[in-house]
Amino acid sequence: GERRFRGWSGKAVRGPPPRFEWLRQELNQDGTFPGGEQPLSIVILGASGDLARKKIYPTLWWLFRDGLLPDVTYFTGFARTPLSVTELQERCHPHLQASPGEEELLSRFLSLQSFVQGQYGEAGAFGALDQHLRALPGGPRAHRLFYLALPPTLYGTVTQHLHSTCMAPGWTRVIVEKPFGRDLRSSEALSAQLGALFREEQLYRIDHYLGKEMVQNLMVLRFGNRLFGPIWNRDNVACVVVTFKEPFGTDGRGGYFDAFGIIRDVMQNHLLQMLCLVAMEKPASTNADDVRDEKVKVLKSIDPVQLQDVVLGQYVGDPEGPPERRRGYLEDPTVPPGSSTPTFAAAVLRVNNERWDGVPFVLRCGKALNERKAEVRLQFRAVPGDIFAQRCKRNELVVRVQPREAVYAKMNTKRPGLSLQPLEAELDLTYGSRYRGVKLPDAYERLLLDVICGNQTHFVRSDELREAWRIFTPLLDAIDQSAQKPIPYKHGSRGPPEADELLQRAGFLYEGTYKWVDPHQR
């Protein structure tokens, strides 16, 4: 096939002055920042696709803009269709844009882009990619980072070619995105394929929730405070609820979604990862393998989820709602007619170890719900020996991942004034007010930086992935074989009421007397 190299200026361009000099220094002290000397090639396979357009190129631009990439970094897109810098910019609109004063930086970033066109199954195309990478300034010495922004069906072929033709003179690292298979069997097959070609330290399996500020904060909150350690167990915690809600439906993404469903899309990965960070023991250190060893132990203590511990739902249009809520899942033209794929799921998991025996961990997630929210909530047991005529409510600790990051603890306090009655209030750490003006980086920014620094803490190890599939595969098989349809719920509602009943049965007490109010709006 025809191959075109376009957009590359051909001369070495040094990166921008590092805006985040402190971060570079911090990373340097750990000895992990690749530093200025060793050139880096970042290769985006699937450069014309959705992920590249929406996430990868914008993230690379932000990292470049903030001076967080090695001084000599070149970006190469590989795709079946030819692509030019202008097309790239158009596709990434509005993310690849310069704020006032950044124009020169952006044009410098764009001048470092190049594209190689080729078929994924064609060895020659990868030979050409290799030659191209070698011809870049610093190319003969450069590290190579390959981002597989591709459907997993192509992983096997593409990694074969990368392995035989495109290995770097320096290090080679490969980023893969979910879905890592559809179940334990397919995931194991995929892992075996990749594992035969690359060592575990070369493989970066992204779960972007692990790159979120508040998800990363779970470790610091838990292990950096004496306040929480002693009560973080079955003696004090009644129930843990991990929630993921989105206010929009599949909206044209039904083709992908329908083949997977909400359990594979978010529960088996994002929610389960958050559960692990809540439930795990303190790792020996913050090193990647120490942390992941503890996560794997948690997963090993969880039995496969049973169908009777699960509520499944599928959204239907709300004829009285605003226009965007009128369309149900089955009316999305990209969804196969009559599909019984769940768009909502709530499941009770049990961590059968000394710390958590008997404590339900409820995971619930859904599309087309009433709000956008992701949070982790620990509900504590009632205070024993009540002397306040049962007016004290259970304490809750909530880590809100998004939107409006916050950590707050629901607690009882004396009603201010002459009264001695308990009143529900909160200890509130809302990031927007405590850290005014601090911009939290996007999950992908942190994760890409981690890959460049060689830090795997926030990436999924192969045994972790295997355990995650072990927990959900029997359930997914049972769902596929069951003739039962998911429970319909209205677009824009809280999901099926049966999920609230499941939560209640599990032991979560919903009082309905408290509502968190953003301090800015109090």
**By the criterion CB under 6 A, which residues form the site for ligand BG6?**
208, 246, 265-266, 374
At which residue do the structure tokens 């409820």 appear?
362
Distance CA 223, CA 86 (A): 48
Residue nearest to ligand BG6 (CB): 265
Residue 299 CB contacts under 8 Å (≥ 6 apart), including other chains: 272, 276, 464, 467, 468, 470, 471
355 or 373: whose CB is closer to ligand BG6?
373
Q: How many CA atoms lie within 13 A of 105 on its CB side?
A: 20
253 or 466: whose CB is closer to ligand BG6?
253
94 or 100: whose CB is closer to ligand BG6?
94
Taking the complex as a whole, the smallest distance from the CB of residue 260 to ligand BG6 amounts, in Å, to: 8
CA distances from 173 to 5, 41, 147, 167, 168 (A): 23, 11, 8, 9, 9
Taking the complex as a whole, the smallest distance from the CB of residue 139 to ligand BG6 amounts, in Å, to: 34
Taking the complex as a whole, the smallest distance from the CB of residue 64 to ligand BG6 amounts, in Å, to: 22
46 or 70: whose CB is closer to ligand BG6?
46
246 or 289: whose CB is closer to ligand BG6?
246
Residue pair 245/493 in contact (Cβ under 8 Å)? The answer is: no
Taking the complex as a whole, the smallest distance from the CB of residue 459 to ligand BG6 amounts, in Å, to: 15
φ/ψ of 86, rounded to 5, equals -60, -45
**Per-residue 3-state assignment (H helix, E strand, C coil) for 341-395:** CCCEEEEEEEECCCCCCCCEEEEEEECCECCCEEEEEEEECCCCCCCCCCCCCCC
Nearest to 206 by CA among 500, 445, 433: 445
Taking the complex as a whole, the smallest distance from the CB of residue 176 to ligand BG6 amounts, in Å, to: 13
Taking the complex as a whole, the smallest distance from the CB of residue 266 to ligand BG6 amounts, in Å, to: 6
184 or 374: whose CB is closer to ligand BG6?
374
Q: Would the CA dihedral through 81, 86, 90, 91 be positive or negative? A: positive
Give Dmax (Cα) for the chain: 83
Angle among Cα 254, 257, 258 to the nearest 5 degrees reads 80
126 or 329: whose CB is closer to ligand BG6?
329
DSSP state, residue 334: T
270 classed as catalytic: yes
Distance CA 310, CA 479 (A): 10
411 or 479: whose CB is closer to ligand BG6?
479
Torsion, Cα of 45, 50, 51, 53 (10° steps) = 90
Taking the complex as a whole, the smallest distance from the CB of residue 343 to ligand BG6 amounts, in Å, to: 10
Other beta carbons less than 10 A from residue 68's beta carbon: 24
Taking the complex as a whole, the smallest distance from the CB of residue 209 to ligand BG6 amounts, in Å, to: 7
Distance CA 79, CA 116 (A): 7
Residue pair 362/239 in contact (Cβ under 8 Å)? The answer is: yes
Residue 408 CB contacts under 8 Å (≥ 6 apart), including other chains: 397, 398, 400, 426, 427, 428, 429, 430, 516
Q: How many CA atoms lie within 13 A of 61 on its CB side?
A: 27
CA distances from 123 to 139, 176, 208 (A): 20, 20, 31
Nearest to 1 by CA among 116, 126, 129, 125: 125
Residue pair 44/52 in contact (Cβ under 8 Å)? The answer is: yes
Taking the complex as a whole, the smallest distance from the CB of residue 269 to ligand BG6 amounts, in Å, to: 7
Taking the complex as a whole, the smallest distance from the CB of residue 208 to ligand BG6 amounts, in Å, to: 6
Look at residue 91 and give its three-state secondary structure.
helix
252 or 319: whose CB is closer to ligand BG6?
252
Single out the catalytic residue among 143, 161, 270, 491.
270
DSSP state, residue 268: I
Supply the residues annotated as catalytic: 270
